[in-house]
Chain A
Amino acid sequence: GIQVEQSPPDLILQEGANSTLRCNFSDSVNNLQWFHQNPWGQLINLFYIPSGTKQNGRLSATTVATERYSLLYISSSQTTDSGVYFCAVERYDYKLSFGAGTTVTVRA
């Protein structure tokens, strides 16, 4: 099956800092989503981005499908940005394959 690798595994930030999370995948995909999992386990949709660039407030994402990677940018981080960020991809088979996640801790 398709392999999804996220880096870094852990990230500690000072409030106000910027950061970049990376997702590499091993094959072509027709779906890529970024999620934020809150402490209660809810997966919150951040971006649906099989290709291109999108922005939503302080968050933005870029997927370069031909080079099989995606980046999630967090600018001016806040303590509420803490949590686990997951990248998930679908390879034309209806199922999402998740990476292991990046745990982000934002300190005040």
Chain B
Amino acid sequence: DAGVTQSPTHLIKTRGQQVTLRCSPKSGHDTVSWYQQALGQGPQFIFQYYEEEERQRGNFPDRFSGHQFPNYSSELNVNALLLGDSALYLCASSPTMGDRGGDSYEQYFGPGTRLTVT
């Protein structure tokens, strides 16, 4: 049973460029969330996708956008890169959160993409 996968593993970009990161959820999961982890800090929630729509968003500017495909995989796009965008970007997946009736589901994380902006 494949876990959450992410690509690429590492990426170096120049300030002002655009980047696309990719995530495939764990088998049987249809909800994908993205997190940013700066050096020495805990991960920060960026947004979550369910049924190909952004359902919840954290405190990140519009330069951060995403997409979910019919096969539940997801992309994170960051435009106009800043030096401060250098971080580990983590993708997490979970089973459906559509109608939970107050229940929650365990989230599983991928290995991350380490982005360096120079």
Bin chain B's interface residue count.
20 to 34
CB distance B111 to A41 under 8 Å? yes
B41 beta carbon closer than 8 Å to chain A: yes
**Do A41 and B112 contact each other (CB < 8 Å), given the known contacts A92-B102, A94-B48, A99-B42?**
yes
Bin chain A's interface residue count.
20 to 34
CB distance A30 to B103 under 8 Å? yes
CB distance B102 to A30 under 8 Å? yes
Point out the residues of chain B lying under 8 angstroms from A43, CB to CB: 43, 90, 109
B71 beta carbon closer than 8 Å to chain A: no
How many residue pairs between the two chains, A and B, have CB atoms under 8 Å in the bound complex?
A: 60
CB distance B42 to A45 under 8 Å? no
CB distance B43 to A98 under 8 Å? yes
Q: What are 25 sample pairs from A and B whose C-beta atoms fall under 8 A apart?
A: A30-B102, A30-B104, A33-B106, A33-B107, A41-B37, A41-B90, A41-B112, A41-B114, A42-B112, A43-B43, A43-B90, A86-B43, A88-B43, A94-B48, A94-B55, A94-B56, A94-B97, A95-B33, A95-B45, A95-B48, A95-B58, A96-B35, A98-B42, A98-B43, A99-B42
Interface residues of B (CB under 8 A from A): 31, 33, 35, 37, 41-45, 48, 55-56, 58, 88, 90, 92, 97, 102-109, 111-112, 114
Interface residues of A (CB under 8 A from B): 30-31, 33, 35, 40-43, 45, 48, 50, 86, 88, 90, 92-101
